[in-house]
Amino acid sequence: MRSSYQALSAIIATVSCYVSIEVAFADPVSIEVALPNFASGGGESLKFKGVAAISGADLHLTSAAGSLYGAAFNRDLVSLSNQRSFSTYFTFRMTNPQCGTGEGADGLAFVIQADESSVGSSGGGIGYEGIPSSLAIEFDSFKNDGFSDPDNNHIGISLNGNPKSVATVEAPYLLINENTYHAWVDYDGRADLLEVRLMDSAARPSVATLSYKTDLEAIFGSEVFVGFTAATGSCFEQHYISSFYFSRDLLAGGIDTTLNEYLPAHD
């Protein structure tokens, strides 16, 4: 009996060890995009529109000139199969604002859209205006009264290419002061909860800067393109994205900003 018990214990220990190894080496997070910067081919996974291009280690969406549009989206479709849940983290900066009022324009946006061929326009629509079946998280540096903007320094959530945001909040920092800002956008498809966070450091705040309840399954299907847009009008500034991470599922606590060792996930 003791021999049988020892044999059974050995089998359990072997199985436990095997399971532990499988857990340790399983893909811990579904990171679809992992770009700590855009240097050395970092932009090869992106498709550019308008004036967007890679400049050094940055994705340069627009220069400081009037009536420009720039966008960059993932070349390959991303599957948001878990009720459209996702997490993303990126860093950006806006520089060289020029306007007769001492302001800049118009801002940049993180965008998810169903049809990569859709494009926006220059000016106050921040490059995403008119893109159907889309979600845009805008960082807006100009007050457009026609779009019911609350001020010239706010964060907004916009749906289906409509620049009249469904939710806005005053940005906790001056967006055009040339600093690098850290942004997290997380969507819980089970709770239909979208959260946006903005900080001037890599320390993700526990409380969201802006929250909004919405059902993204009603807006686009599970196959989407993810990326950024920006635009200028009669006033202008430069728009840069410095890093970009995207998970095709919600990550508890958001994307960890130390994930540089992870490579993009593969099916």
Among candidates 188, 181, 186, 182, which has minimal Cα distance to 196? 186
Inter-residue contact 186 to 223 (CB < 8 Å)? no
CA–CA separation, 72 and 44 (whole Å): 11
Instruction: Compute the distance between CA of residue 149 and CA of residue 126 in angstroms, rounded to an integer.
Output: 12
Residue 54 lies in a domain: yes
Contacts of 4 (CB under 8 A, 6+ apart): none
- Is residue 35 domain-resident? yes
116 is a domain residue: yes
Measured CA to CA, the distance from residue 86 to residue 188 in angstroms comes to 7
CA angle 153/57/208 to nearest 5° reads 35
- Domain-located, residue 5: no
pLDDT at 130: 93
Q: Where are the alpha helices (DSSP H) in the chain?
A: 2-25
Token pair in block for residue 22: 């499988």
pLDDT at 31: 86
- Compute the distance between CA of residue 136 and CA of residue 112 in angstroms, rounded to an integer: 7
Report if residue 15 sits inside a domain: no
DSSP code for 210:
E
Q: Which residue has the tokens 């430069």?
A: 238
What global pTM score does this model have? 0.86
- Give residue 42's pLDDT: 87
Domain that holds residue 55: 28-261
The enclosing domain of 193 has a CATH number of 2.60.120.200
* 3 located within any domain: no
Which pLDDT does position 7 carry in this prediction?
45
pLDDT value at residue 102 = 66
pLDDT of residue 259: 58
Q: How many CB atoms are closer than 10 A to CB 8?
A: 10
Q: How many domains does the chain have?
A: 1
How big, in percent rounded to 5, are the helix, strand and coil portions of the chain?
15, 40, 50
Q: Residue-wise pLDDT tens for the chain (267 aa)?
A: 444 444 444 433 433 333 332 333 334 567 889 999 999 888 899 999 999 999 999 999 999 999 999 999 999 999 999 999 999 999 999 999 998 766 889 999 999 999 876 677 888 999 999 999 999 999 999 999 999 999 999 999 999 999 999 999 999 999 998 899 999 999 999 999 999 999 999 999 999 999 999 999 999 999 999 999 999 999 999 999 999 999 999 999 999 877 544 444 444
Cα 88 from Cα 256, distance rounded (Å): 10
Of 61, 65, 76, residue with least CA distance to 225:
76
Distances 14 to 9, 18, 20, 156, 188 between C-alpha atoms, Å? 9, 6, 10, 53, 38
6 within some domain: no
Q: What is the pLDDT of residue 223?
A: 97
